[in-house]
Chain A
Amino acid sequence: MIPEGSLLAAHDLRKTYGSTPALDGASFSVHPGEVVAVMGPSGSGKSTLLHCLAGIITPDSGTITYAGRELSAMSDAERSALRRSDFGFVFQFGQLVPELTCVENVALPLRLNGVKRKAAERTALEWMERLEVDDLGTKRPGEVSGGQGQRVAVARALAASPKVIFADEPTGALDSLNGERVMELLTEAARSANVAVVLVTHEARVAAYSDRDVTVRDGRARDMEHAV
């Protein structure tokens, strides 16, 4: 059932919170370097799908395969290690550690992977330069604007050279100009580094930055390209 050549694929995921089904037989796949938008109305289960794909939560049933490895068969520690090494994350808000400076925030995933501080911060600065926020290095997240903060977050997601970036409403808290710039920088950087992006959004204009879109409705994911 796994589509040929896919990097990360899920099949028939089910997940229930209490008595509310969040996922009800959702399937999904993404190829290396591909940007896929996951769309759907609020409460449709798109965030749950993303959390399952990223190994943050485990589905009640179904399979998730990443690079030939079965995610649901991995222990919590193994999944954590995988997230550290292969995945990057961008969320809507509240994701930067407020007491760390911006460059330290960007360097954090590298340092969690065991990279020395100096080297990590050097790499972090290079990514911040790509995202046009290298002048914020010593500032704390509380001192920068929302758009800048989100770019720092994108830099952080990219810093550890992940294979997949999970972005959950990355522009949700931004105005359209800042949001578009962040999307532009994110997709450009991801494409040039051959990083796959799973982009959860309910905004069509944000989804338009993707190569392909998938709609989640009532806990089921539909690949629109194949649905037609």
Chain B
Amino acid sequence: MTLLEEKLPAAPPRPASPSRGSVTLRDLGLGIRFAAAGGREGWIRTLLTAVGVGLGVALLLLASSVPHLLDARNAREQARSENRASAYSETNAPKSDSSVLLVNTTTEYHDRTVAGFLMRADGSTPVLPPGIDRIPAPDTMVVSPALRELLDEPGNELLRERLPYEITGTIRDAGLRSPGELLYYAGSDTLTPANGGHRIGGYGDDRQGEPLPPLLIVLVIMVCVVLLAPVAIFIATAVRFGGDRRDRRLAALRLVGADIRTTRRIAAGEALFGALLGLLFGLAFFLVGRQFVGAVEIWDVSAFPADLAPDLRLASLIAVAVPLTAVLVTLVAMRSVVIEPLGVVRRGRERGRRLWWRLPVPLAGLAVLALWGRVEEYAPVNPFPITAGAVLVLFGLALLLPWLVEACVNRLRGGPVPWQLATRRLQLSSGAASRAVSGVTVAVAGAIALQMLFASMNADFNRMTGADPSRAQFAGYSEDVTGEAATSAIEQFRATKGVEVVIGSVEAYASKPGDYAEDEVEPTTSLTVGTCETLRELARIGACEDGDTFVVHPPGDKDMSAWVDETARKGEEVEIGYGNKVMRWTLPADSPTVQGREDPMGETHYGIMATTGAIDAGKVPGATITTQIRVDHSVPDVAEHVRNTAARIDPGMRFVTIESVERNRQYASIQTGLQVGASAVLLLIALSMLVSQLEQLRERRRLLSVLVAFGTRRATLGWSVLWQTAVPVVLGLAVAVAGGLGLGAMLVHLIEKDVSDWWLFWPMAGVGGALILLVTLLSLPPLWRMMRPDGLRTE
């Protein structure tokens, strides 16, 4: 015995009891050491948490970059806009050595906007938009990389035909709004102010940008809330990855003398380490991810990597909030667990979850929205009630879910074996399942509400335009008005493949000369110049010779007829044009008054009509050639053919698609974007569900082996895994659909619109269903692997 004792090392002297602060630090450090050096298992757990938190952080950083992204876009947009000489965009700058004549030749190609300008320098030192070094020579152009790519792709001959300029250069990033923008600058030697050219003196619009419209603010708030709320939930779930295993490890620490507080601090230290690592991962994901961001285009918007710079304040908020959340979540989660030296006791819930404090939260959210959230179309928006209301509703749904899952699951009895296994499992611990699914609920509910908001805004817009694409599908407005231009334009359009009807005339405004007080309305009517043939299509004209003029009344509208007569006084002068470009013209006294008629597009024309012999259309100030075109949509690419004709007639022709195509496309892309975003969030959540599923399976390895020994079929256990995922997800989706529809209806009501479509939730519900399948399918291979008898071997 004495020999033994001599060999024992001397026990180190006991240190004086350390201060509280140093104890806390020591325990946190211990936790960090466990997380960092906990062997392979420990690393996997830490890595899972870090990757989960990292994905969430990357999303948050992305969101915090949005302000800078918009600012940068806006700055580039303004830098390449004209430096306004006056408040009127029509005002030309004085001609100088640096002034430039240009015309906007923006066109549409296959639902994409191709922005473009024809330019002609007045002197030797022309002003230049950002991104190019000189004005392109006549019949050459510089293009954005995206446009160059598009032109090089096979199948885009029609676009090349429309832009018949030789490519001589590339526009640099500084001149582009986003990497995917289609833009070109082409040179011209024929552009004059007379044929549509607009003279500018410099670039850089330094006026204050307009504030975002209120509705858009509501949308932006909702997008942020909807996409970020589930991310917060996901981070909270990720922190709890592998919690059971950790608890058992802490129990072992209790055995060697750690007290409960120490275990909590150690757990907090572990969570802190995971979260800090997650921050680093998130930063890395973000920095790597933004290199590829140029390839992603949502809502017609793509961004340069440099545009994605997180707002410093928001970024620091993330850096502080994420670790703090991690620690808090861990501490809260540990409150329901008692870690004893000999094991972990989960504090059982004697009482079920209570509804009374959960239900008021979403209701309070709705109340906040209803009381303070009303949005006036033109008044500034107070973002706080809307944010608070939406957040309360969404998190309230997340609170309702555990109660609902518990209440439903506890009523489930019997059924086939897989169903019984699944429901019993959920009855025993529905908490973990509810937690993961609450992310799904919040994401889906938010997405549904947001889509309803978009849809109603969109439907509303369509109603306002009242456009009837069955009449005319295109309208062209050209200021290049010369002699026979109108006639020739009509002929060229008629000759275009797929065109059915063309109405073309030269139009200008005529008003009664005189001085008017500011609040007085100047009597004005339209002046239409065309051939007898054209005018006959617009009014009930009997005899017509070149040189005739007519006063045309709208049929059956006495008020409007009287208003026309106020201006069109026979034998008196009228003023044609506006601003500083006007001319006086006498309406011949012998002009007959006739009735207007519906043109082939179904539109009624009235005012003064003159044949080309009565007035020289080329000299009429402010005149435009107006062309309305109806096409046969069965002809492939008919729109592109018509646009090519328009570009050939006058590249500066403003060519409008009357169909609501653009708006629909915008809406569709928003919807797609939203669905992609929500799906990404759901995918994150699926990941966390998968992790906890696998963790649970691993813990039950032995039981699975026993069940195999019994002769349990794989299918039986597979189905039970499916049900175990499906039951909470389906309940979560039900809550999400109900809550989302409620929130959506409330928001739509707030912006004083009507709900246009109650069935928008199907796609999201579908994605939720796919999630169930995904989680189940991915759990099956490990399940099969674990369903082997190895787990039975005790030796």
Contact = CB atoms under 8 A, between A and B. Distances in A.
Do A and B share a direct contact in the complex (Cβ within 8 angstroms)? Answer: yes
Interface of A: 42-43, 47-48, 51, 54, 56-57, 77, 79-85, 87, 89, 91-92, 94-95, 97-101, 104, 108-109, 111-112, 117, 140, 166, 168-169
11 contacts: A42-B795, A47-B795, A56-B708, A57-B789, A91-B792, A92-B794, A94-B703, A97-B424, A99-B421, A112-B713, A117-B414
A153 B709 CA distance: 13
Chain A facing B: main interface SS? mixed
B223 to A, nearest CB: 41
A47 B793 contact: yes
Contacts of B706: 89, 91, 94-95
Nearest to B708: A56
A99 B425 contact: yes
Contacts of B711: 79-85, 87, 109, 112
B689 to A, nearest CB: 18
Given A56-B789, A117-B414, A100 B712 contact: no
B424 A83 contact: no
Contacts of A94: 702-703, 706
A84 B716 CA distance: 13
Contacts of A169: 794
Interface string B388-422: 00000000000000000000000000111100110
A51 B421 contact: no
B428 A112 contact: no
A97 B421 contact: yes
A56 B709 contact: yes
Contact of B709 (A81, A85, A89, A92): A89
Contacts of B710: 83-84, 89, 108-109, 112
Given A100-B424, A112-B716, 6 more contacts: A47-B792, A87-B711, A94-B702, A97-B421, A99-B428, A166-B709
B427 interface: yes
- Chain B interface bracket (under 10, 10 to 19, 20 to 34, 35 or more): 20 to 34
Contact of A98 (B415, B416, B428, B794): B428
Contacts of B716: 112
A108 B793 contact: no
B523 to A, nearest CB: 85
A184 B713 CA distance: 32
Nearest to A77: B713
A166 B789 CA distance: 14
A221 B73 CA distance: 82
Nearest to B416: A111
Name, among B703, B709, B712, the residue most crowded by chain A CB atoms within 10 Å (CB to CB): B709
A168 B702 CA distance: 14
Contacts of A77: 713
A212 B143 CA distance: 94
Contacts of A166: 709
> In this complex, which of B417, B707, B711 has the most chain A Cβ atoms within 10 angstroms of its Cβ?
B711
Nearest to A118: B414
A99 B426 CA distance: 8
B794 A99 contact: no
Residue from A81, A91, A166 having most chain B Cβ neighbours under 10 A:
A91
Between A97, A104, A168, the greatest number of chain B beta carbons within 10 A of the residue's beta carbon is seen for A97
B424 A112 contact: no
Contacts of A97: 421, 424, 703, 707
Contacts of A111: 416-417, 420
